[in-house]
Amino acid sequence: MPTVTVVDHPLVQHKLTLMRRRETPTAEFRRLVREVAMLLGYEITRDLPLTRVTVETPLEETEACVLAGKKLCIVSILRAGNGLLEGMLDLLPSARVGHIGIYRDPRTLEAVEYYFKVPQDIAERPVVVVDPMLATANSAVAAIRRLKRAGATDLRFACLLAAPEGIAHFHREHPDCPIFTAAIDRCLNDHGYILPGLGDAGDRIYGTR
Ligand code: PRP
Ligand code: URA
C-alpha cells in the first residue's frame, strides 16, 4: 500500500509556518527550504540499509555501521525542486543528482517536460524526487513516470506541501512510491494553487515575482 508520511517534527512545523508568511523575504525563504529539506531527508533515509565495517578508533579496532549499496540519487524537478536539493545535498553530500525540467501550463495545469538528465545507472540506486509542491500532482506524476521509463524502481517523493487532490492522483498513478511531506493542506483553488499554501514556491525561492 502507498504511504504518506507527514514529518510533523516541531522544527519542521515552525520553519514551515515562517515560509507560509507572505512577508518572509526571499533570502530567508530560501534558507528555510534548505533547512527543512535536511530535516525531511533525515526521515526519508530512515530505512536505508546498513552494513558493518571494521574501523580503527584512536583507541582500538571495532565494527561499526556504514550505508550499504549504491549511493542514493536525488532528482530535482526544476526549478523549485532545486531549493530542496540544496538541503538534501547538505545531508547527503555524496548523493548523485538528476534534473527533470517540468513546468505546469498555467492554463491547462498539465505538466510540460523540457529537460531530462539523470545518472545512467539510476536503475541501481534509491531515488528521492524533490519538489516543494504537490498540487494537482501532474508534475510529480509525469516526473515519476519518466524516471520509471529510465529504469528507476526504488522511488520516494519529498515535498513541503501536498494537497489531498494531489495525493489521491499521485497514489492512483504511482501506488508504489511513498510520499514524504511537511504538511497536507486543505485543497486547491481554481488556479491549482494549494490553500492555505505558501504561494508559488519557485517565485518565492528565486524572487521572480
Ligand atoms: C510548481 C511546483 C511543482 C508544480 C506543482 O512548479 O514546483 O513543480 O508547480 O504543481 P502540480 O502538482 O499541479 O503539477 P511550476 O510549474 O510553477 O514551475 P517552476 O518550478 O519552474 O516555478
Ligand atoms: N505550485 C506552486 O508553486 N504552488 C502551489 O500552490 C501550486 C503549484
Domains and CATH numbers, the chain: 4-206 (3.40.50.2020)
**Residue 1: pLDDT over 60:** no
Cα–Cα dist 195/203, whole Å: 17
* Residue with CA at minimum distance from ligand 1 atom 10: 135
User: Are 71 and 125 spatial neighbours (Cβ–Cβ below 8 Å)?
Assistant: yes
Tally of CB atoms within 10 A around 50: 11
State the DSSP code for 184: E
Please give the average per-residue pLDDT across 147-161, as a whole number.
Answer: 98
- pTM given for the model: 0.96
In the chain, pLDDT over 70 holds for what percent of residues? 99
CA of 47 to the centre of ligand 2 (A): 29
For the chain, give the mean pLDDT.
97
- For residue 2, the model assigns a pLDDT of 60
Cα–Cα dist 178/167, whole Å: 10
- For residue 154, indicate whether it is catalytic: no
User: pLDDT tens digits for 78-101?
Assistant: 999 999 999 999 999 999 999 999
* Residue with CA at minimum distance from ligand 1 atom 15: 103
Helix (H, G, I), strand (E, B) or coil at 110: coil
User: Are 165 and 187 spatial neighbours (Cβ–Cβ below 8 Å)?
Assistant: yes
Catalytic residue among 20, 45, 104, 145: 104
Please give the average per-residue pLDDT across 45-70, as a whole number.
Answer: 97
Kind and range of the H or E run holding 50: strand 50-56
Q: Residue 132 CA: which ligand 2 atom is closest?
A: 3
- For residue 107, indicate whether it is catalytic: no
